[in-house]
Amino acid sequence: MVGDSLLDDLPGWLEQSCPAAVYVVITDATVAPLYGEEIAERIGESAPSHLVTFPAGESHKTRETWATLTDKLLAAGAGRDAAIVAVGGGVVGDMAGFVAATYLRGIPLVHVPTTLLAMIDSSIGGKTGVDTAAGKNLVGAFHQPRLVLADVSTLGTLSPVHIASGVAEALKHGAIADAEYFERIAAQHVQIKACRPAAMIELIKRSVEIKAAVVCEDDREEGLRAVLNFGHTIGHALEATTGFEMPHGEAVAIGMVLEAELGTSLGVTDSDTAPLLRSALEAFRLPTVLPAGADSQAMVANMLHDKKVRQREIRLTLLKSVGQVAKTGGGAWTHPGREDVIRAVLGSGS
């Protein structure tokens, strides 16, 4: 469900889509005073509810937090007839989702995403999990939610940087599947930056449709789902080699431009694609060139060690043009990225 002020009737939505004997609201310490406490209270008016909180931030998306949260559920006596309500950004969604996937071998889950990224990306598709010292999202499970309730009124408290970070993923959805949608986002940049409800609802709906359509075709990431990785091969390498300090959407913004340039160098991507991406991203003040401190050698090394790399070959999702992903002659969704061409694109930096 996508709309404005939907949370006013959360108990009704829960009763309809996820009836349970008790609801455990999981949120982080930043979102708790903004929305989590009120949501737990409102649910509590018609059903037993608990509020469980953990510290905010990616550094807490860990097995240690998972252990603390599941211990709290056990101490509260939550049984198989309980349901988890995840209230927060992607960190809360991934963390609470993994608790729901594993607690008593799996209990129902409802997502109440409160960041734009969580509304259009992380709450859709059923991926849950935690980070480890060896890398991000390496331990997890697929666990589909019973309901995702995106209430755009919660975006009002989100920082402009986090709004822009979500928009980068929305532009990615347009770039891989719908050129008209891509152009609409760019044209509506003023309304979107101001978080106008009508513009946000339209944006979230179309992005969710695109992501959901891909995930429905390939829910276990065997082929088509790779298209969602556009911008992420270079984006992840940039994040990993800069200590994950850069907002994810900014890394993806740079990754999309560089992967479009790479595609053009390889003769796969139309030459106007990178400029179109660059101007749309710039309208949202998203970066489009590597930051000064980026280490292109380390980035290539990182790409070669990615968990999805087969036989030391870097494979990437490439566009044909804005709105269309290019398949290889053999029908694959990812292309081998020649190391020399990748080095050249990273080296030039723009």
Ligand X SMILES: NC(=O)c1ccc[n+]([C@@H]2O[C@H](COP(=O)([O-])OP(=O)(O)OC[C@H]3O[C@@H](n4cnc5c(N)ncnc54)[C@H](O)[C@@H]3O)[C@@H](O)[C@H]2O)c1
Q: For binding to ligand X (CB under 6 A), which residues are involved? A: 28, 30-31, 34, 56-58, 61, 88-92, 94, 114-115, 117-118, 121-122, 125, 127, 136-137, 154, 157-158, 162, 165, 248
Overall residue count recorded for the chain in this entry: 350
Q: Which is nearer to ligand X, 116 or 268 (CB)?
A: 116
User: Which CB sits closer to ligand X, 248 or 342?
Assistant: 248
Q: Smallest distance, Å, CB 323 to ligand X? A: 22
Measured from the CB atom, is 137 or 321 closer to ligand X? 137
Nearest-approach distance from CB 198 to ligand X, in angstroms: 19
Q: Which residue has the tokens 């566009």?
A: 319
State the Cα–Cα distance between residues 69 and 83, nearest whole angstrom.
Answer: 14
Instruction: Tell me how far, at minimum, the Cβ of 61 lies from ligand X, in Å.
Output: 5
Q: Which of 50, 143, 162, 229 is catalytic?
A: 229
15 noted as active-site residue: no
Active site residue 232: yes
- 3-state DSSP assignment of residue 240: helix
Tokens of 334: 């990812």
Is residue 137 part of the annotated active site? The answer reads no
C-alpha 214/C-alpha 53 separation (Å) is 32
Burial of 221 (0-12, 13-18, 19+ CB in 10 A): middle
E strands present in the chain: 2-3, 22-28, 49-54, 82-88, 109-113, 127-132, 135-142, 147-148, 150-151, 315-316, 318-321, 324-326, 335-336
Known catalytic membership, residue 173: no
* Number of other CB atoms surrounding residue 134 within 10 Å: 8
User: Residues with Cβ < 8 Å from 62, sequence gap 6 or more?
Assistant: 130, 131, 132
Of the candidates 323, 4, 319, the one whose C-alpha atom is nearest the C-alpha of residue 184 is: 323
Q: Among the options 225, 278, 315, 335, which is catalytic?
A: 225
Token digits of residue 218: 């390939």
Q: Is 64 a catalytic residue?
A: no
Q: How far is the CB of 94 from ligand X (least distance, A)?
A: 5
The residue from 38, 209, 221, 339 that is catalytic is 221
229 is catalytic: yes
Distance in Å, CB of 125 to ligand X, minimum: 5
Task: Name which of 165 and 273 has its Cβ closer to ligand X.
Answer: 165
| List 45, 105, 222, 307, catalytic entry | 105
Q: Which is nearer to ligand X, 11 or 125 (CB)?
A: 125
Which residue, 228 or 345, has its beta carbon nearer to ligand X?
A: 228
Report the candidate in 151, 42, 68, 142 with the shortest Cα–Cα distance to residue 100. 142
Active-site entry in 211, 278, 315, 335:
211
In the bound state, the residue with its beta carbon closest to ligand X is: 90
CB of 338 to ligand X, least distance (A): 28
Question: Token pair of 25, please?
Answer: 């609201």
Catalytically active residues, by annotation: 105, 127, 169, 211, 221, 225, 229, 232, 236, 248
